[in-house]
Amino acid sequence: MIFFSCKKYVEVEPKGKITPTTVSDYQLLLNNTTIWNVTWGTTEYLTDDIGITDATLLTKIAAREIYSIYQFSDYYYQVSQDDPEWNSFYKQIYTANVIINGLPTATSGTDAQKQQMTAEGKSAQGVCLPLPG
């Protein structure tokens, strides 16, 4: 059997995307507010802090999964739907792992910068994980 190298296909830099290689690239990941500034939202509808009494508002949310959560339905999302909060938080964990694993081999930057940013990545990762129990 003859094996051909796929290196020229695998190592192609995707257009419009940045593969982090420098300390500066990893800093951009740490500063990306669209990844890190995400909070819980729909779970608030499961508390007694919210009572929807406005019929118009109730009609507007009835078409969304929020209504299922508000009504304590057995299933909030259909099998074909994603949970947007779940996806957001696991994107944070994934990004933190990219930072933690990639910084040791990053070009440029000092060891002190790499250690600081690794600590920030670990801190962000810890914040994203659900509490045990």
Mean pLDDT, the chain cut into blocks of 10 residues (133 residues total): 57 75 93 82 70 73 64 72 80 91 92 92 68 45
**Model pLDDT, residue 64:** 62
Using a 10 angstrom Cβ sphere, with 0-12 exposed, 13-18 middle and 19 or more buried, the burial of residue 82 is exposed
**Model pLDDT, residue 23:** 94
**Model pLDDT, residue 102:** 93
**Model pLDDT, residue 22:** 94
Q: pTM above 0.85?
A: no
**Model pLDDT, residue 86:** 80
The residues near 85 (Cβ < 8 Å, ≥ 6 apart) are: 38, 40, 41, 42, 43
**Model pLDDT, residue 127:** 56
Using the structure block, give the residue that is written with the tokens 């982090």: 20
**Model pLDDT, residue 115:** 92
